[in-house]
Amino acid sequence: MEINKVLQKSFENWLNTLGYAESTVYVSTNYVRDFFKWLHTKKVYDLEQINHKLIKNYHKYLQERKNKRLTGSLSNNYIISNINALKRFSRYLEQTGKATIEIDLDLQVEKTSIKTILTQTEIKALYKACTNDYIGIRDRAMLGVFYGCGLRRSEGAALNVSDILLKEKRVYVRKGKNYKERYVPMAERVKEDLENYIYVSREKTLSKKNIKEEALFLGERVNRFSGVGFIARVHKLVHEAGIQKDIGLHSLRHSIATHLLQSGMTLEEVSQFLGHSSLSTTQIYTHLAND
């Protein structure tokens, strides 16, 4: 079968139909697209031409490829995520009867690189990278939610304006992990950034269309901002701040947990702040804080 954009779109629809997370669909389709581009450089245009040797050569190519955003090579976790996307693509081909491609590379995640932490100086650099326009105001509010309040991506994306209790300096998390609800305190600076976003930036976005929207974070189309959108904004801020680390949205949550422990907050308090159901989940941050 010919390798083309129609096949990529079909793969994306398959992932959505099976209920994969939005971020997984996004990275999987991007990784498969990159794989197709590499195949074309090798003059491979049909699925039937893909074999184990070709997959091993692609893996070697990833190991040697330079990082486009940062200096140095691609991280081990990035390569594993890439290969896992190809494994999903392989399952898609098999289950839809298009082809059979065996991705039998057994890769292990490096334990030392599971969590990437930003220093407090780097966090300040992210805030400094925010512009003064309405997009920058939204970026500061985003940092306040995901770093200042330590929310997960899904929790932040699900926030409504009514969940931001400015007077009480609390954020009401309606859709926490395992459907657990909680209230998260916000610092004065986070409150100011959220207040500025809600009454300035968000109002400016709403003025583009005469509609009502309950979502806290809005995109250019005046609809709920997606998790993928947050990831893209964080990557842009990391680039603008000149931070040479492979940072994702969840890194902000890891960072605030580590910084709170470093400041003297107890493990139990940090666990409650993050919405963990078990102290053992929070325990990893004690090692990061000590380091």
DSSP state of 225: P
- Exactly one of 177, 182, 235, 236 is catalytic; which is it? 177
Q: Where are the chain's structural domains?
A: 5-111, 120-290
Q: Which sign does the torsion angle of CA 262, 263, 264, 266 carry?
A: negative
Residue 199 falls in the annotated catalytic set: no
Give the pLDDT confidence of 84-94 residue by residue, as tens digits.
888 888 888 88
Q: The tokens 């400015």 sit on which residue? A: 166
Core vs surface per residue 235-251: b (16+ CB within 10 A) or e: eebbeebebeebbbbbb
Q: What is the pLDDT of residue 69?
A: 60
- Exactly one of 140, 202, 254, 276 is catalytic; which is it? 276
What is the pairing mode between strands 164-165 and 182-185?
unpaired
Give the pLDDT confidence of 143-171 residue by residue, as tens digits.
999 999 999 988 999 999 999 999 999 99
CATH class of the domain comprising 120-290: mainly alpha
Q: Which fold has domain 5-111?
A: DNA polymerase; domain 1 (1.10.150)
Question: Which pTM value belongs to this model?
Answer: 0.64
- Helix intervals (H) in 45-181: 52-64, 76-95, 120-129, 134-143, 153-157
Say what angle helices 52-64 and 76-95 make with each other, to 10 degrees: 150
Chain center to CA of 72: 21
Residue 253 falls in the annotated catalytic set: yes
- Exactly one of 152, 191, 233, 259 is catalytic; which is it? 152
What is the pairing mode between strands 182-185 and 170-173?
antiparallel
Residue 170 falls in the annotated catalytic set: no
Residues with pLDDT less than 50, the chain: 107-114
Q: Which residues pair with 170 in a beta bridge?
A: 165, 185
